[in-house]
Structure 1
Amino acid sequence: MKAIYKISLLYIFTAIFFCCTATSFSQEGLVLPTGTHKDKISFELVNNLVIIPVEVNGVPLSFLLDTGVDATILFGITESDTLLINKATPVKMRGLGAGEGVLAFKSAGNKIKVGEASDDDHSVYLIFDTSLNFSTRMGVPIHGILGYEFFKNFIVKTDYVSKKVTFYNPKNYSRKKCNGCEVLNLVFYNNKPYAEISMADYNNVKQSITLLVDSGSSDALWLFDEPESFSSTNESYFKDYLGLGFSGNIFGKRSKLNEVWVGSHHLEDVKVAFPDKQAIEGINFFKDRDGSIGGDILKRFTVWVDYEAKTMTLRKNRNFNEPFYYNMAGLTIEHDGLDVVTERATWQKLTFENSREVGANTPIKIVTDASVYTQIILVPRYIVVEVREGSPAALSGIVAGDEIVQVNGMAVYKTKLYELNTLFSSKVGKKIKLLIRRNNQLLKVKFALEKVL
């Protein structure tokens, strides 16, 4: 089994590689209790990614649900947490980026629970490297990744509108007629699903491509082979920071495809990323793989994945016609620790008075005793970690290391990180005013979002 893990501010791409055997779908692993035919859990959708509650050895955590991953991975923990983990063996994990990868520990015999489904002998890969703290880029707690070990035993329905994941025991699942549904066949390699879709290339010639189905990628598409036209002109792409991988930073190019067909479903102006070659050197991909299809396309459908039948069924939802966005500000921001702030607040004491005779129409007098006080609260700090060259943010003077204090006149800690990311991808011409802190000095900057593609 080989492993890749890549994360970026808005665009997250995950796929784990180690040494593994041919694909098989046994009933080992997560299973529902006897007599239970299905279960449903709520999830949080952040940057097109599905984050579900998972319990590991009795500890409630938040995991990214990722079809592009084979192993279950746990990170963002400290050395003291090893008391919860069994039988740990060191292994090396190599991933995207130019570095040498990270040290991980394979642990067997763990108990994992997702909704009513459980597994009492689950293998987990632990990473203690604090630089791989994905929560700082997401703005919400992320403790791990769950993939094949969840999908292999169930038919899994992901409803991106209601934000519910329903998983069925295949033996008791009754397939209903689905109007408007499209069924794609899946091919498996190292326990990961691949599907064939079509695209119009940069010469407007329609061609088929084979892509990893990667719900752990928040991008729409990743492609590994750059068009020849990129070498002669830069009008159809821009260079960008794509994310942080196990082996270092990942850079590449962002562009768009005029047309993409997922089955018979037709999409236009689809955003696509091309990682630099050095980021994927030395990694042995499925020989027919051209790239990945991620959350920015998958979220436009209700998705049924059936590993046993090797199919993925798609039905359009209300997100289907949404435009494909990208970061027009050129800023990559992460949550970096906490700040202490003071706020004035009002404390109220309410006293209820009524007469001795209490009935349905008895008047109740409410006496309010209000006083103003100062409260001290801990709030997140948002730091600029990357600024795209030539972007509106760069031209306004923002540099890496700046701390964002206010956005459009509002204290930034009142905004969630993924909401800030959405703002930077919202609308061409949108005016952004920032108050930043640099070397203990407050500076005001402003810029407007500009279309690059």
Structure 2
Amino acid sequence: MKKRLIYVSLFLLCLGPVAFCQVFEIPEGEKYQKVKFELINNLMVVPVEVNGVELSFILDSGVSNPILFNLSDKDSVQINNVSEITLKGLGEGEPIKALKSVGNTFKMGKAVNQDQPLYVVLDKDLNFSTSLGIPVHGILGYHIFRDCVVEINYVNKTMKLHDPGLYKYKGSKRSQTLPLDIINRKAYIDAAVLVKDEKEVPVKLLVDTGSSDAVWLFQDPEQGIDIPEKNYEDYLGKGLNGHIFGKRTKVNGVRIGSFTLKDAKAAFPYMESFGAIKNLGDRNGSVGAEILKRFNLIIDYSRNKITLKKNGNFKAPFQYNLAGVELQHNGVRYIAERITDSRGVVHSDENPIGSVQILFEDRTRLSLVPEIVVSAIRAGSPAEEAGLKQGDVILAVNGKRVHRYKLQEVLKMMNEKEGKRIRVLIERSNKDLTFSFVLKKLF
């Protein structure tokens, strides 16, 4: 698999504790704050106000302190009490330089922390926006979960931040409450996997809302956690210190409490990527958002427990990349559209595309739209065998012009279901080319 930009979000910082004086507080007289989020590639993107400026953060339970990155010349936010530090995280590269800041005001809804520590990474390569299709400025995790009972409704795309002192549990026959281990600002859950047969192997997994994958497992043949024969090597994502590679496959099942998810996607990262983490303890991997989104969750660090309730996503099949391509935004491009009908009547106000339009003689509209390109392609995939290449500009999928759709919608068009024929119009070296292939299962 050729290198591509960030596909999954996973930042496990190896940092010492940071002193803090304040916590996220719910306004007096209110039991909770309700926050809407966008769910993109299984990741929750939430609005967070930082020192009076609204930004977008991924809610990532695998991260210790908030990290701010990907600030463009359009973003202007003041950070307080800055010093330089070194950050260590996942990836095979070297630690990176960053800025440490304290005394910042973070606000989600009306929940406010007036003394929030923050790290600022200035590396431009650390960028979620191109692969998610929307601006993302950072990641936020532990402090929200520490200070609030966090209720997540993946179906309605809403989150409630409850005051732990006022929150009361409601009994439900359809939900199950399980213990959490909170270790070094991260939450772990006991689960089981069925790797090669029907024999369960007990595992301890990091609860990681910031991973778009289903489950990551650390290979341990002695414990029964071995890589299934049907697998392929892939780029799994990017950590703070570089790229993460491993094997993708599927396991027969993942059990959490009494809930079992069959034929689940799984990845086995190469352990070189975890060199910055000195002690993994008895951890066997991570459970990510492709599994977590199948439940509505109540995550309660104050009482060391998590409540899971099956939602409408539970029985959905695990989505594999059937085409074998990854897409990302790559700047912008102009597209020309006629705005008159056959009788010469102007329809310039109908469904304008892009934020910039230029009209020519009331007949043609030139619009500035995001450019979508093939960022990576899997060896032996249907798309590669058909002739698609990394760097190809996607113009249309099955006759639909992609500039009218969000990035994740285009990815879905190219991965709808096994056996579907996909026709892709691309631009390569200033030429328009069409390729056709049939989607097929990996395993």
The match for 2:410 is 420
Structure 1 window deviating more from structure 2 (139-148 vs 439-448): it is 439-448
Q: Helix, strand or coil: the match of 1:338?
A: strand
The match for 2:180 is 186
Distance across 2 between alignment mates of 1:198 and 1:436: 44
Q: 1:418 to 1:227 in 2, by over 3 A?
A: farther
* 1:20 and 2:14 aligned: no
Q: 1:227 to 1:421 in 2, by over 3 A?
A: farther
Q: C-alpha offsets along residues 343-368 of structure 1, whole Å, 9 cap, x if unaligned?
A: 2334489xxxxxxxxxxxxxxxxxxx
Query: Runs of 4 or more off by more than 4 Å in structure 1?
Result: 78-83, 232-235
Distance across 2 between alignment mates of 1:226 and 1:431: 39
The match for 1:376 is 366
Task: Say whether the 8 Å CA contact 1:14–1:217 is kept in structure 2.
Answer: no
Distance across 1 between alignment mates of 2:242 and 2:284: 22
The match for 2:260 is 266
Residue 403 of structure 1 is aligned with which of 376, 380, 393?
Answer: 393
Please say which structure displays the higher CA radius of gyration.
Answer: 1
Residue 121 of structure 2 is aligned with which of 121, 127, 142?
Answer: 127
Q: Helix, strand or coil: the match of 2:147?
A: coil
Q: 1:418 to 1:14 in 2, by over 3 A?
A: farther
Q: 1:176 to 1:169 in 2, by over 3 A?
A: same
Task: Say whether the 8 Å CA contact 2:335–2:369 is kept in structure 1.
Answer: yes
Shift of 1:27: 8.1
Shift of 1:260: 1.6
The match for 1:438 is 428
Structure 1 window deviating more from structure 2 (146-155 vs 240-249): it is 240-249
Task: Say whether the 8 Å CA contact 2:67–2:118 is kept in structure 1.
Answer: yes
Q: 1:7 to 1:51 in 2, by over 3 A?
A: farther
Task: Say whether the 8 Å CA contact 2:27–2:111 is kept in structure 1.
Answer: yes
Task: List gaps (5 residues or longer) in structure 2.
Answer: 340-345, 350-360
Q: 1:64 to 1:273 in 2, by over 3 A?
A: same
Q: Helix, strand or coil: the match of 2:290?
A: helix
Task: Say whether the 8 Å CA contact 2:39–2:45 is kept in structure 1.
Answer: yes
Shift of 1:7: 7.3
Distance across 1 between alignment mates of 2:227 and 2:306: 38
Tell me which amino acid in the other structure corresponds to 1:240: D
Task: Say whether the 8 Å CA contact 1:202–1:227 is kept in structure 2.
Answer: no
Shift of 1:178: 1.9
Tell me which amino acid in the other structure corresponds to 2:233: K
Number of aligned residue pairs: give it.
423
* 1:39 and 2:33 aligned: yes
Q: 1:233 to 1:57 in 2, by over 3 A?
A: closer
Residue 252 of structure 1 is aligned with which of 246, 261, 266?
Answer: 246
Distance across 2 between alignment mates of 1:226 and 1:255: 16
Q: 1:268 to 1:105 in 2, by over 3 A?
A: same
Distance across 2 between alignment mates of 1:41 and 1:160: 12
Residue 439 of structure 2 is aligned with which of 425, 449, 453?
Answer: 449
Task: Say whether the 8 Å CA contact 2:21–2:115 is kept in structure 1.
Answer: no
Structure 1 window deviating more from structure 2 (195-204 vs 148-157): it is 195-204
Q: C-alpha offsets along residues 125-168 of structure 1, whole Å, 9 cap, x if unaligned?
A: 11111111111011111111110111111111000111110111
Shift of 1:205: 1.7
* Residues 356-371 of structure 1 mapped to structure 2, 5 A cutoff: none
The structure in which a higher percent of residues are strand is 1
Tell me which amino acid in the other structure corresponds to 1:142: V
Shift of 1:315: 0.6
Distance across 2 between alignment mates of 1:382 and 1:347: 27
Q: 1:428 to 1:192 in 2, by over 3 A?
A: same
Shift of 1:169: 0.5
The match for 1:352 is none
Residue 269 of structure 2 is aligned with which of 272, 275, 284?
Answer: 275
Shift of 1:421: 2.4
Q: Percent identity?
A: 40
Scaled by the length of structure 1, what TM-score is found? 0.87
Tell me which amino acid in the other structure corresponds to 1:165: M
